[in-house]
Amino acid sequence: MVAVSEIHLDDVSKRYGETTALADVDVDVEDGEFFTLVGPSGCGKTTTLRLVAGFESPTEGRVRFDDEDVSGVPPEARGVGVVFQNYALFPHMSVAENVGYGLRFVDPPDGESRRERVERLLDLVDLGGMGDRAPTQLSGGQQQRVALARALAPGPRLLLLDEPMSALDAQLRERLRMQIKEIQSELGVTTLYVTHDQEEALAVSDRVAVMRGGRIEQVGTPRDVYHRPETRFVAEFVGDNNLFEGTVTELSVSPDETEGLTVDVGGTEFRLADEKEEAIDVGDAVTFCVRPERLTVGDGDNRFTAVVESTEFLGETTRVHLDWEGRAVTLRTPEALSGSVELGFDDGDARRIG
Distances (CA, A) of 225 to 23, 114, 177, 188: 21, 42, 20, 24
Which of 26, 28, 31, 42 binds ligand ATP (CB under 6 A)? It is 42
Nearest-approach distance from CB 88 to ligand ATP, in angstroms: 18
State which residue, 71 or 317, has the beta carbon closest to ligand ATP. Answer: 71
Would you say 273 and 258 are in contact if contact means Cβ atoms under 8 Å apart?
yes
Which of 7, 43, 192, 219 binds ligand ATP (CB under 6 A)? It is 43
Which of 46, 190, 191, 242 binds ligand ATP (CB under 6 A)? It is 46
Nearest-approach distance from CB 26 to ligand ATP, in angstroms: 17
Nearest-approach distance from CB 62 to ligand ATP, in angstroms: 18
Would you say 118 and 100 are in contact if contact means Cβ atoms under 8 Å apart?
yes
Q: Edge-to-edge strands of the sheet including 242-253?
A: 268-273, 259-265, 242-253, 285-290, 350-352
Site for ligand ATP in 256-275 (CB under 6 A): none
Asked if residue 86 binds ligand ATP (CB under 6 A), the reply is no
Nearest-approach distance from CB 124 to ligand ATP, in angstroms: 28
Strand partners, 319: 312, 332
Q: List the one residue out of 137, 161, 165 whose CA is nearest residue 151.
A: 161
Q: List the one residue out of 39, 33, 44 whose CA is nearest residue 238.
A: 39
Which of 45, 150, 207, 351 binds ligand ATP (CB under 6 A)? It is 45
Judged on CB neighbours under 10 Å (0-12, 13-18, 19+), 81 is buried
Dist. CA 120–CA 113, nearest whole Å: 10
Binding mask of the shown chain, residues 1 to 40, with x at each position contacting ligand ATP by CB under 6 A: ---------------x--x-x-----------------x-
Query: What is the binding site for ligand ATP (CB under 6 A)?
Result: 16, 19, 21, 39, 41-47, 196
